[in-house]
Chain A
Amino acid sequence: MIAEFGLAALWLAAALAALQLIAGALALTPRGGTLGGIVRPVAMVQGVLVALSFAALVVLFAQTDLSVELVAKNSHSMKPLIYKISGTWGNHEGSMLLWVMIMGLSGCFVAAVERRLPELTMLATLAGQAFVSLGFYAFLLLSSNPFTRLPSPAIEGAGLNPLLQDPGLAFHPPPLYIGYVGLSVAFSFAIGALVTREVGPAFARAMRPWVLGAWIFLTLGITAGSYWAYYELGWGGWWFWDPVENASLMPWLAATALLHSVSVLAARNALRAWTVMLGVVAFSMSMVGTFLVRSGILTSVHAFAVDPERGSFILGLLALNIGGALVLFGLRAASVTEGERFSAASREGALVFNNVMLSAILGIVLVGTLYPLLAEALGAKVSVGPPYFNPVSAIFAVPMLMVLAVGPLLRWRRDSLARIRPLIAIPAVLLLGVLIWAGSQAVGLLPALGLALSAALGVASLLPLKGRKLRQVKLPVWGMVTAHFGIAVALLGMASDAAFTTERLVAVQPGDTVEVGPWQVQLQRIEPVAGPNWTALRGDLAVSYKGGAVAELHPAARTFWAPPNETNEAALKTRWNGQLYAVLGQETSGGRWQLRLWWKPFVPMIWYGGILIALGGLLALLGRLASDLKRLVARDKIAYRRSRQGR
């Protein structure tokens, strides 16, 4: 019953999306009449229906209804409840349903609250949102139906990959998807504004909170995903330039650029065409990411060629949406002028510089991610990894970070570097000093640059607060300062991990003590332990920092039985100045155990930085929403007075 209900709700939602598109498009024509009136309510009901459909799938997974093919293939009755629930989106069909649900809910939300734009632009926006959704509904219903029943129920489910049975991984996809799909709103706004040629500060102010919201979730999702990879994979790496990671980084880079150009448009009515273009690009990158992850093309181009149905479908959607948007952009770009002008040494100038740099980095990541696929299609297998991405993206990232330190100190429209010279002297001296010191430590060029830039940016990011009364500083400024400081913090973690990590790989007997960096680690015993769907061998380690208080760490090697698999559970000891990372390996000859130990100074700063960046976004969002609300109340008051006077 529940599966049929979910499927029916999904079909209804798809039908309403079609209605939303047709009604919205017709309402834009001279003969549209009152048809526009139904667009908002339809969008809201569509959002509710698709949410109900998703809820039905969650219930099926929570109950482990083995008569549903998707549940039988991806779940198991013995699994802990939270992993049953997270199993809903831990597979192709479920994650695509999550995708369209978020898309439907965003449309619903926009229809319900967004009242600042001219009504025609809103109709075009909602029609655009429906157009994109419709493609994904078709994809789900025609080639990835999550509610298919089995002819006879399975006796037991096949299980969920044990690597995915971890709170960090289980719950990082939803925020990431909210980020990816939240950008669809920016895409639809861009389409709407292009259709009605209403690109200006009002459009930017309406679009900004949606971009900010999506960007906050993307930032958190990437941060969480990176931390998951760090502790779950068991070798201490936190970013692999893996295509799946790049798929999340590309929309983030585009959204970061968009976020800044939309602010220029809102404040100064400049960069109109550029902002619209970025709105299109940001969501396009989300779709490219989905194509990469969902088509199976990453495992092998040949796997894709053998079963091309799904991949071709998404590729078709991609071409249709991105191509359509670009054609529209091409047709209208001439009539959307660039707007107000400004000089190179100005806030806008710095923002344009960094926008271009972010776009260039995006280009590098895109090329590096797609190139191996292209080469494989041509018959050669190549790998593109950290030795390519790190230095090549640094060519653009280093100047960008330097401008980032200076930009917020510049005035809008026209300024001179001479005016801010006394201010930027401090970070400039820091930059050089740390660079010279790091050079003497022989840590490598990129880590040295990272440390120096982190120190300079850490100070420079706080300078916009100098000489102001902190209580009167507005929330969006706090947001900017927090986010930029977060970048410095994250950079410190990244550079420090690359420069100062100490590694010890040893085979030890219980009783042996090993030193790694300032830590002493003693293996006390190896014990068997059991969990709900696994058994494990657990090492009891006594660790102490520079001979101080002794703490316990318990790295373990787990064996799952459904499906059979082994994972390493790393144990971490966090101090303010770094993290001790311990992994229990296999038993070697003579009752010895492999132990992998790392001392990683300041590595947690990577993720604290990520959280600060997201927090900065949140402060900015709250500030914007508060001032929007104030404006709205003021407008209502005036309208109310007028209506009374008129009486």
Chain B
Amino acid sequence: MIRLLLTILALVLALPGAAQDGVPPAPYANVQLADPAQEAQAHALMLTLRCLKCQSQSIADSDAPMAGDMRSLVRERIAAGEDPEAIRAWLVERYGDYVSYQPRVTSLTWPLYAIPLLLLLGVAVVLRRRLRRGGDA
């Protein structure tokens, strides 16, 4: 509990200064968590978060200071026992959908998931037609 409070305190203190250059990097920007399971969890999440200052890189793949700050934030929250999806939701609320490489299903993005299903259906129909026909010819 104390650890959680300390972490949140650290976050509150760290965040306003985040993203600004010239400030020393956040504590967990380039330092791994001691627990390998937690680090693996954090790393998996970092791979799916977008570095907002780069072009098409995840925060796990970037030298940008802001990516370092976000890595630190993810590690600290994972260490505090937070669920990865809760951290994602928090970041999405703060930075918008753009920050997550895993699009949510919304009124705008549902076709992204509907199209593969339609493709699957289309594939089944095409294959049925093409492969049923022949044979006796």
B residues in contact with A341, CB < 8 Å: 133-135, 137
| B115 contacts the other chain (CB 8 A) | yes
For A361, the closest partner residue in chain B by CB is B119
CB proximity of A555 to chain B, nearest CB, Å:
13
| A363 contacts the other chain (CB 8 A) | yes
Q: Which of A85-93, A381-389, A480-488 contacts B (4 or more CB under 8 A)?
A: A381-389
A residues in contact with B132, CB < 8 Å: 344
CA distance A596 to B62 in the complex (A): 12
| B102 contacts the other chain (CB 8 A) | yes
CB proximity of B97 to chain A, nearest CB, Å:
5
A residues in contact with B48, CB < 8 Å: 385-387
| A594 contacts the other chain (CB 8 A) | yes
CB proximity of B16 to chain A, nearest CB, Å:
22
CB proximity of B27 to chain A, nearest CB, Å:
11
CA distance A506 to B28 in the complex (A): 11
| A627 contacts the other chain (CB 8 A) | no
CA distance A233 to B67 in the complex (A): 14
A356 touches B30 (CB 8 A): no
Interface residue total, chain B, C-beta cutoff 8 A = 44
CB proximity of B51 to chain A, nearest CB, Å:
10
CA distance A510 to B21 in the complex (A): 27
A235 touches B123 (CB 8 A): no
CA distance A609 to B137 in the complex (A): 39
CA distance A58 to B65 in the complex (A): 38
| B38 contacts the other chain (CB 8 A) | no
CA distance A378 to B97 in the complex (A): 14
| B1 contacts the other chain (CB 8 A) | no
| Residue interface bits B111-137, CB-to-A below 8 A is 1, else 0 | 110011001101100110011111101
B134 touches A343 (CB 8 A): yes
Instruction: State which of A299, A378, A384 has its C-beta within 8 Å of the C-beta of B103.
Output: A384
| B108 contacts the other chain (CB 8 A) | yes
Interface residue total, chain A, C-beta cutoff 8 A = 54
For A270, the closest partner residue in chain B by CB is B134
B63 touches A360 (CB 8 A): no
CB proximity of A258 to chain B, nearest CB, Å:
17
Given contacts A349-B131, A364-B116, contact A242 B56 (CB under 8 A): yes
| Residue interface bits A322-356, CB-to-B below 8 A is 1, else 0 | 00000000000000000011111000010011001
A residues in contact with B131, CB < 8 Å: 343-344, 349, 352-353
A residues in contact with B62, CB < 8 Å: 235
A residues in contact with B112, CB < 8 Å: 367-368, 371, 384, 388
- Chain B 94-108 residues near chain A, CB threshold 8 A: 96-103, 108
A residues in contact with B123, CB < 8 Å: 356-357, 360, 396
CA distance A383 to B123 in the complex (A): 27
Instruction: State which of A237, A357, A388 has its C-beta within 8 Å of the C-beta of B101.
Output: A388
Instruction: State which of B50, B127, B137 has its C-beta within 8 Å of the C-beta of A340.
Output: B137
A residues in contact with B43, CB < 8 Å: 503
A residues in contact with B25, CB < 8 Å: 586
CA distance A383 to B116 in the complex (A): 17
Q: List 15 A-B contacts (CB under 8 A).
A: A235-B61, A240-B58, A299-B55, A344-B131, A353-B127, A371-B109, A375-B109, A382-B97, A382-B108, A383-B50, A383-B101, A384-B101, A387-B48, A388-B101, A568-B63
A-B contact sample (18 more), CB < 8 A, given A237-B58, A298-B55? A237-B60, A237-B61, A341-B134, A342-B137, A344-B131, A344-B132, A344-B135, A367-B116, A368-B112, A381-B97, A381-B98, A384-B103, A384-B112, A385-B102, A386-B47, A386-B48, A387-B102, A388-B102
